[in-house]
Amino acid sequence: MISAFMSKHHYINLIHMQNTRYDIAIVGGSTIGMITAIILAKAGLSVALVERNAIFGKESLKDIRDIKKQTKHKSQNNDDHDDHSTAKLWALSNNSCRILQQNGVLRDIAKYGQPVNHIRIVDGNSSAKVDFDPEDIQADHFGYMIDERIVNQALYEAITHYMERNNNLHILDRTSLEAITVNQSTAALYGDVGMTLTTQSSGQPHDTISASLIIGADGKYSAVREIAGIGHTTHDYHQSALICDIQHEWEHDGVAVEKFTPDGPFAILPQNDPHKSSLVWICKTEHTAKIQSSSKQDKALMIAEEMDGYLGKIELISNTLVYPIKLIHSKKYASEAFRTMLVGDAAHAIHPLAGQGVNLGFKDVELVTNKIQELWVSGLDIGYHDTMMQYHRKRKADAFMMIQSTSFINSIFSNNHYVTKALRRVGLKSIDRLTFLKKFIMLYADGRSI
């Protein structure tokens, strides 16, 4: 149903794309780009969502759920089964879940996600620990661990449903951004931004659209950021993350655990099967490469050693994926000259230690869409420079605090010097005793105003 609908509308959009004007052009069909498009289209603005790849998936939510059920059935019966693809779990805060559900996406998130009922941080070299309980901030849980594929498929289906009934949201997928030009259009009350696009089918940069504002949601290697001349800083942590799925003897009870070792953090993230979890094992790059080159049996033994009996016997049930960890942080989150704003990883790709990258992106979306809607309903320029700078200052300050915190924690815990070992033991024990500080950390991670 989705593929048939989209093949028709994708064709219509492309043949009418040349010289088409929109209120908003969003570049990047990622999770952050799609939810931004849905919110602004529902507010009444005309929106073009530009994505270089095919944006619509082949599987429905039912298909994904059935695949997960089949895998669970095989595992419970201890049958031989092929390794399944690794689930990329996101730790969605309650605030991020609220943004999705208020816009008709994953209102039944409990069917697909695992509520995080408790978080425990432990020092791998001592008995020091910190326990976070959602009851301390009057919450039932800290949000949901959920497969990225499920979130994106739910967004695909929400967009499809909206486009069946409305004509102010257009999908321009298989389309790359080549250039941005600033025009003072006589057809618009305020300035327009022209965008030169290339379609994969033609390979010729002859199609153009214009918009009052561009939102760059095209990831950490953002073309929008580069073309708009927005600089960025980078930092190589010389670490890589190995991710995989395990099956375990004992139920996880919705507890997420992060163990800090001299090499880096080792996170155990509960899936919505009580006997399955995802692992994110961050190590120095050379150590990760050694683990990745090992046999499946040796990997399972190394994982079991790190887990030290937690959750009982374990089995590695997926392939293992490795990706390097690098900070990429935009110097500005908006460009007045190019009438451009950045959201998500295009603005800030951070260390995954705290699992807050996607939640920072949802905070970007919440603020940028609120600001745009305020201007829109007042009949003002949605690219008003003061508003763009307000967005830049507020969101950069928030991201900067997270970047500095995760970098500091990573540097303190990812070494074995006797002074830092003593400091982190004292630090963890102090945090565990300081109720007000724990509450501050939990409220921030939950996406609430502090």
Within-domain flag for 305: no
Answer whether 136's CB lies under 8 Å from 438's CB: yes
Band of residue 182 on the pLDDT scale cut at 50, 70, 90: confident
Residues paired with residue 193 on neighbouring β-strands, in sequence order = 182, 211
3-state secondary structure of 229: coil
Q: How would DSSP label each residue in 412-442?
A: HHS---HHHHHHHHHHHHHHHH-HHHHHHHH
64 vs 161, which has greater pLDDT?
Answer: 161
Q: For 334-373, how does the pLDDT look when each residue is reduced to its tens digit (9 = 90+)?
A: 999 899 999 999 999 999 988 899 999 999 999 999 999 9
Asked whether the predicted pLDDT for residue 188 surpasses 70, the reply is no
Tell me the C-alpha distance between 77 and 94, whole Å.
Answer: 35
Band of residue 411 on the pLDDT scale cut at 50, 70, 90: confident
Supply the mean pLDDT for the chain: 85
Within-domain flag for 31: yes
Greatest CA separation found in the chain?
A: 70
Band of residue 268 on the pLDDT scale cut at 50, 70, 90: very high
Whole-Å CA distances, 310 to 64, 73, 250, 410, 429: 29, 23, 8, 23, 21
* Per-residue pLDDT, 317: 96
Band of residue 416 on the pLDDT scale cut at 50, 70, 90: low
Angle between helices 61-76 and 148-165 (to 10 degrees): 150
Band of residue 125 on the pLDDT scale cut at 50, 70, 90: confident
* Per-residue pLDDT, 137: 93
Residue 364, burial from CB neighbour count under 10 angstroms (0-12, 13-18, 19+): buried
273, 320, 271, 266: which is closest to 297 by C-alpha?
Answer: 320
Answer whether 129's CB lies under 8 Å from 121's CB: yes
Band of residue 76 on the pLDDT scale cut at 50, 70, 90: very low
Answer whether 316's CB lies under 8 Å from 300's CB: yes
- pLDDT above 70 coverage of the chain, percent: 82
Residues paired with residue 234 on neighbouring β-strands, in sequence order = 328
* Per-residue pLDDT, 12: 35
* Per-residue pLDDT, 57: 54
* Per-residue pLDDT, 176: 87
190 vs 263, which has greater pLDDT?
Answer: 263
From first CA to last CA, the distance across the chain in angstroms is: 44
- Please give the residue range of the domain that contains residue 395: 2-58+151-233+326-404
Residues paired with residue 90 on neighbouring β-strands, in sequence order = 146
Tell me the C-alpha distance between 297 and 392, whole Å.
Answer: 48
* Per-residue pLDDT, 438: 87
CATH (domain of 197): 3.50.50.60
Within-domain flag for 422: no
Within-domain flag for 283: no
* Weakest mean pLDDT among 46-55, 112-121, 416-425: 416-425
Whole-Å CA distances, 393 to 16, 331, 388, 390, 396: 37, 11, 9, 5, 5
Within-domain flag for 241: no
Rounded to the nearest 5°, which phi and psi values hold at 100?
-60, -50
Q: For 133-165, how does the pLDDT look when each residue is reduced to its tens digit (9 = 90+)?
A: 999 999 999 999 999 999 999 999 999 999 999
Residue-wise over 48-69: b if at least 16 C-beta within 10 A, else e? bbbbbeebbbeebbeebeeebe
Strands 114-115 and 321-330: unpaired
Range with the largest mean pLDDT of 9-13, 159-163, 192-196, 200-204? 159-163
Asked whether the predicted pLDDT for residue 327 surpasses 60, the reply is yes
* Per-residue pLDDT, 189: 46
Within-domain flag for 189: yes
Asked whether the predicted pLDDT for residue 54 surpasses 80, the reply is yes
Asked whether the predicted pLDDT for residue 13 surpasses 50, the reply is no
Number of domains in the chain: 1
* Per-residue pLDDT, 78: 37
3-state secondary structure of 144: strand
